[in-house]
Amino acid sequence: MLKKVLACAVIAALSGCSDMPVNKSEKEVITKNETKQQLTYPETKKGAVVDIYFDEKVADPYRWLEDDMSDETAHWVETQNNTTFSYLDNIPYRDTLKASLEKLMNYEKVTAPFTEGKYTYFYKNDGLQNQYVLFRKLGDGEAEVFLDPNTFSDDGTTSMSGLTFSEDGSLAAYQISEGGSDWRKIIIIDTETKQPIEENLVDVKFSGISWLANEGFYYSSYDKPKGSELSAKTDQHKVYFHKLGTAQSTDELVYGGTDDEKHRYIGASVTRDNRYLLISASVSTSGNKLFIKDLSKPESKLTTILEHTESDTYLLDNDGSKLFLVTNLNAPNKKVVTVDAANPTPDQWQDLIAQTDNVLSMSKGGDYFFAKYMVDAISKVQQFDKSGELVREISLPGVGTARGFSGKKESDTLYYSFANYTTPGSTYSFNVKTGKSEVYRKSGAQFDSEQYTSEQVFYASKDGTKVPMIISYKKDTKLDGKNPTILYGYGGFNASMTPGFSPAIAAWLEQGGVYAVANIRGGGEYGKEWHDAGTQLKKQNVFDDFIAAAEYLNEKKYTSSDYLAVRGGSNGGLLVGAVMTQRPELFKVALPAVGVLDMLRYHTFTAGAGWAYDYGTSEQSKEMFDYLKAYSPVHNVKQGVEYPATLITTGDHDDRVVPAHSYKFAAELQAKGAGANPYLIRIETNAGHGAGTPTSKIIDQYADIYGFTLFNMGIKSL
C-alpha cells in the first residue's frame, strides 16, 4: 500500500490557474471562497488488473502502487509529496501552529520510577527530544544515562521498545525499530557496563521478551517473507527460546512450527517465580488459546487451559500452582478466576472477582490486585486482596483516565498517572497498605486547564443505540455553529477511547478549536458485546454511530458542516474513509491517517489476515464480499462527487497497515473527485505506523494537519 505521485511542478491550489505559488502577502487576504482553488495533480497511471470475486469482476487500476520496492512507486511518492508540500507551504499560519505545538510539547516529562536489581530506573524527555532517555540511579545518588535512543540514529527515527530485565537485574534485553518498521532487533546488554554481551537477534516481529531467570528469554517472530518485508504476508508466528551465549540460529523453537500449531499471533510469558511458561495463540486480534508448561519439570509438555479462541484469557499472577486468570469467557465485561495449574480447564475455574456492568482490566503490585473499571469510558479503580476481598475503592484526582497501579510483589509504593483531555497527566504515588495517594510529579505542561472544559454527552445513533461522546473546548466558546471542530473516532478491535491529555490536542484547543471523541461501537468501552456490535456484517453500525455524532455536533451548534473535520488513524482511518464517502456533504475536512482503505485486499498484506475477526474477508462468502465492497473506501469514490478537503497521511515504512491503502485512495480521489477541494496525501518517509515517531516529526505533522484543516475552513489568520 504505497502512495507516490508526481506533481506538475507547482500547485495552483492557492492561485487559481496560475502556475506560480502565491506569496505570503497574497495568502493573508485569501477569502473563504479563494481557499477552494483547483489543484493540478500528478498523473497516476491506470493498470488493467481485474479481480474476480464470486463471478463479479472488480477493477484494481492502481495495483502497481502495492509494489513498495519499485522505482515507479518511489517516484510516485516523491511527486505526490512535492504537490502536497507545495500546498502546505503556502498556508500562512503553518509556522504559527508549529510554534504553538513546540511550546506545548517543550516541558520536562518524567515517568514513574521502577526498580530492577540494585538500581532505580526512569524515563525522561527534556522537552523536545525525539525519543525518551532511560536514566538510572543507585540509592540517593546522581542519575546517569542508561540508554539514550536519540543516539541510535541521526534523525531520531530509530526507537526503543520492549525493554525487560533478567531476574536479578544484571542483564537487559531491548528491541529497536528502524524507520518505524514492526520488524525489530533485540540487543542484550550487561547492565553494569551497558555494553552488548553477544550478537543482536534480528528479524523479530510482534514480540515480547520474557526472561527465564538469567538463563535466556522467550521471544516471537515470523519467518522472513519472500519479497518485500514491508508488505509481504506474514502468517505463521513462532515462539523461540534464546539461551544466552548461543547463536540465534540455534534458538529452540518452542511453539508454532507445525501446521497444527499455526497461528498468526503467539506470545510467551514466564511467571515471576520462573515455574510456569504460558503460551497464548491467536488466529485473529480477538480470542486466544492458552497453554501452560511446568518448567520445574524439564520433560513436561504443554497443557491446554483453553483449546478454542472464543474468549480473551490471560494469566494475571500465580501463587505456586494457583493461577489467577482474567477472562471474558461467559463474561463479556471480564472477570478474574482461579484454578490449579495441574487441572486448569474452564470447568475447574472459580470466580474470584465477578463480572460487573462495567468493563474490567487488571493489574497487580504490592501483593494486591487492582481492578480498573470503565464507567462510560471514565476510570474507577478498586483494590482487592488475593482472596478476592475488596480492600478499598481508590479516590482518583478527578474525572478522567488512571493508568498504572502495577509493580513488584514486595513493593509498598506503586505509581499511577491521571489525565483527561484538558488536564495534563501527573504522576501519583500510592501506598498499598494505607491507600494514600500523593502527587509524585506534577505535569510541567504550559497549559491553563482552568480555561477549558470537557463534557460528556450521550446521543442516539441511527438504530437508537445510546453512544457517549466527550467534547472539549474553551469555556467562553459560543455555540453558534462556527467553531472549527475535529471529531475523532476509532471504533474497532475492542479498543477504548478514554480521556487523556495530548499537547497536540491542547494546541488545537488553544486555537479555539473544539475536540470531540465519540465512543462508538466496535470499541471496548462496554465490553465484548459493544465490540461485536461493530464487526463484520455489523460494521456499518460503527459508521452510523460516527455520522450521528457529527449530526449531534451540528444540531447542538458546537459546529456546522462548514467547520467540521473528521479524523482517525489505522482502523480509524477506515472510519474516516467510509463516512466521507457515504456522507461527503457532512464534513468540510477529512483526515484519514494510516488507514485500512482497501477492504477487498487488506488481508493479503503482512499480518492483515489477523484482522478478519473485525472485518471478515472478501473470500469468506459472497455476502461478506458484497458487504465489504459496499463500504470499502477505495471502491466507493464516485465520479463527479465533491468530497471534503482531504489530507491523507501515511508512512512509507508502515508494515502494519501498508501504505498502498492510502496510495490507492488518494489516486481514486484525485481521479474522480469533483469541485475545488484538495485531495492530497502526505507521505512521511522513513516512518511507520506511528509508534516511536520522533517529536520533531510529530510537530511537523500536526502543524500540517491543523493548517490544512483551518485553511480549508476558510480561516484567514490565527
- Catalytic residue set: 570, 689
Query: Hey, what amino acid is at 135?
Result: F
87 in helix, strand or coil?
A: helix
- Please count the other Cβ atoms lying within 10 Å of the Cβ belonging to residue 677: 23
Q: What is the 3-state secondary structure (H, E, C) of 396-422?
A: CCCCCEEEEEECCCCCCEEEEEEEECC
Kind of pairing, strands 401-406 and 390-394?
Answer: unpaired
Q: Where are the beta strands (DSSP E) in 12-168?
A: 50-53, 56-59, 109-110, 114-116, 119-125, 133-137, 144-147, 158-165
Report the alpha-carbon distance of residue 630 to residue 651 in Å, rounded.
27
Residue 16 buriedness (CB in 10 A; 0-12 / 13-18 / 19+): exposed
Report the alpha-carbon distance of residue 693 to residue 689 in Å, rounded.
9
Q: Compute the radius of gyration of the chain from its Cα atoms.
A: 26
Answer positive or negative: Cα dihedral of 232, 236, 239, 242.
negative
Report the alpha-carbon distance of residue 412 to residue 331 in Å, rounded.
32
Report the alpha-carbon distance of residue 703 to residue 437 in Å, rounded.
38
348 in helix, strand or coil?
A: helix
What's the first-to-final CA gap in the chain, in angstroms? 36
Strands of the sheet containing 437-441, edge to edge, are 401-406, 413-420, 423-431, 437-441
Report the alpha-carbon distance of residue 536 to residue 550 in Å, rounded.
23
Contact 599, 611 (CB under 8 A): no
